[in-house]
Amino acid sequence: MSAHEAVEALRELGLSNYEARVFVALQRLGSGTAQDVARTSEVPRSQVYGAADDLATRGLVEVVESSPKEYRPVSLDRAREQLRERVERQHERAFENLEAVHEDRAGHSDESDVATLRGRDPIRDRAADLVAAADSEVLLVGPRADDLREDVADALADRAAAGVDATVVTDDPDLEDAFDEVAVVYSPASGDGGYAGQTLLVDEATVLLSVPTHDDHAEPFDEVAMWTANTAIGRILARFVHAGMQAGTEET
């Protein structure tokens, strides 16, 4: 890794540009005065003092009270630990604040809310959350054994055990015996490609529709989805889902 790359990596860990350049310079020097550091780092000497003092406050640099003053970096192991702890503290602080914001808006629902998701894992995360919140009905159409994530399957099984009417419709025979209390309906989909995507219906007003993507130039994600929860739009979509299911059953 070049010195430039090291500086960029340290900046991503929360150091300022001058702090990162001073710290990298001190790793090269072992120790040095502000003039030495300025020469090596190309940071103006007037800025080296403040950056080095800030690094000392972070526990990354020792200040040698000599004349002129010198600076020494702590060991790389100690620096790694100090920066790791800083990142963890920032992480905890950020998510504590995010949780507070989330609680402030709890219970708010916009009757027109429709959200989009991109990427298989975020979509499965949302599906698991929606299934876990089901009170009366869950219908999942289109999953296959190789992409039914464990937490989604567990949420389906948990809701079924709690008395929720849970049904999985699939064209994959490997799922026919996957559950004890979840109803599994085997329904060969039309076309060689099977189902075009997956549909999740929860409690008559919550719907998630997802489709795989294959064009790397048009869409960098492997799957995209739209979902809406407890909304008027969700109730309309739910009717279409039920109508499609009924038509498919009649054709079978």
The pLDDT tens digits for 95-152 are 888 887 766 655 454 545 888 888 889 999 999 999 999 999 999 999 989 889 999 9
Query: Each residue of 201-220: b (16+ CB within 10 Å) or e?
Result: bbbbbbbbbbebeeeeeeee
Whether 8 has a pLDDT exceeding 50, the answer reads yes
**Mean of pLDDT over the chain:** 85
Instruction: From 131, 143, 134, select the one nearest 223 (Cα to Cα).
Output: 143
- How much is the pTM? 0.59
Q: Which residue has the higher pLDDT, 239 or 104?
A: 239
Whether 89 has a pLDDT exceeding 90, the answer reads no
Task: Report pLDDT for 137.
Answer: 95
- Strands 61-64 vs 198-202: parallel, antiparallel or unpaired: unpaired
- Other beta carbons within 10 angstroms of residue 15's beta carbon come to 23
Instruction: From 11, 91, 22, 12, select the one nearest 56 (Cα to Cα).
Output: 22
pLDDT confidence band for 238 (50 / 70 / 90) = confident
Token readout for 12 is 């991503």
54-59-65-71 Cα dihedral, nearest 10 degrees: -70
Domains of the chain: 3-82 (1.10.10.10), 115-251 (3.30.870.10)
Q: Is there a contact between 208 and 227 (Cβ–Cβ < 8 Å)?
A: yes
Distance, CA of 51 to CA of 21 (rounded, Å) = 9
- Strands 206-212 vs 198-202: parallel, antiparallel or unpaired: antiparallel
Whether 242 has a pLDDT exceeding 50, the answer reads yes
Distance, CA of 203 to CA of 46 (rounded, Å) = 65
